């Protein structure tokens, strides 16, 4: 397998080079409760809310979490999707988007604050030299996995 690297000379001529992650989308059945959870637990603010005339059963919102945008979509006709992970191994082996991740300055302090706010730990703090990170995971009120990472001090970023 050949791994290519992006350089400034290839990026400038490539229209894809302007790509950036805009948001992650969570489909939920409990709109108000989810907005409240993200506001109370992760300090999210509601950027905007809207509906679509063609989908009267849906409510949508963009949440801002310290510069990261999360789209919440709720429907009265929601269907279950991925099964909720019972442990990390099951979560890593399930097809689909398994989690989203926030890089933070101090993952230990972040987890302590989340625990103080009533968010239980799903995966305990641990340091992983392979990827060069210290991490933990929690679940939101719908069972979605949220990872928090801090680069290890002696790892290249």
Clarify whether residues 121 and 136 are in a common domain.
yes
Where in 2-154 does DSSP place strands (E)?
A: 24-28, 45-52, 55-65, 68-75, 99-103, 121-128, 133-139, 145-151
Query: Which 3 state secondary structure label does DSSP give 46?
Result: strand
Model's pTM, two decimal places? 0.84
Q: Please check whether residue 152 lies inside any domain of the structure.
A: yes
Clarify whether residues 157 and 90 are in a common domain.
yes
Q: Please check whether residue 155 lies inside any domain of the structure.
A: yes
User: How would you write the pLDDT of the chain (157 residues) with one tens digit per residue?
Assistant: 556 666 655 566 899 998 999 999 999 999 999 999 999 999 999 999 999 999 999 999 999 999 999 999 999 887 777 777 788 777 767 666 789 999 999 999 999 999 999 999 999 999 999 999 999 999 999 999 999 999 998 755 5
Q: What is the CATH number of the domain that holds 41?
A: 3.10.180.10
């Amino acid at each position: 397998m050949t791994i290519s690297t992006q350089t400034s000379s290839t990026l400038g001529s490539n229209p894809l080079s302007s790509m950036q992650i805009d948001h992650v989308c969570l489909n939920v059945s409990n709109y108000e409760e989810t907005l409240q959870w993200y506001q109370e637990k992760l300090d999210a603010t509601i950027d905007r809310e809207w509906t679509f005339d063609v989908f009267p059963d849906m409510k949508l919102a963009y949440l801002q979490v310290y510069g990261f945008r999360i789209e919440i979509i709720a429907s009265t006709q929601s269907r279950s999707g991925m099964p909720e992970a019972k442990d990390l191994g099951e979560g890593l082996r399930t097809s689909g988007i398994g989690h989203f991740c926030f890089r933070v300055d101090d993952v230990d302090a972040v987890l302590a604050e989340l625990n103080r706010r009533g968010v239980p730990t799903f995966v305990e703090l641990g340091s992983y030299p392979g990827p060069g990170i210290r991490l933990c995971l929690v679940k939101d009120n719908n069972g979605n996995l949220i990872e928090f990472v801090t680069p290890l001090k002696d790892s290249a970023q």
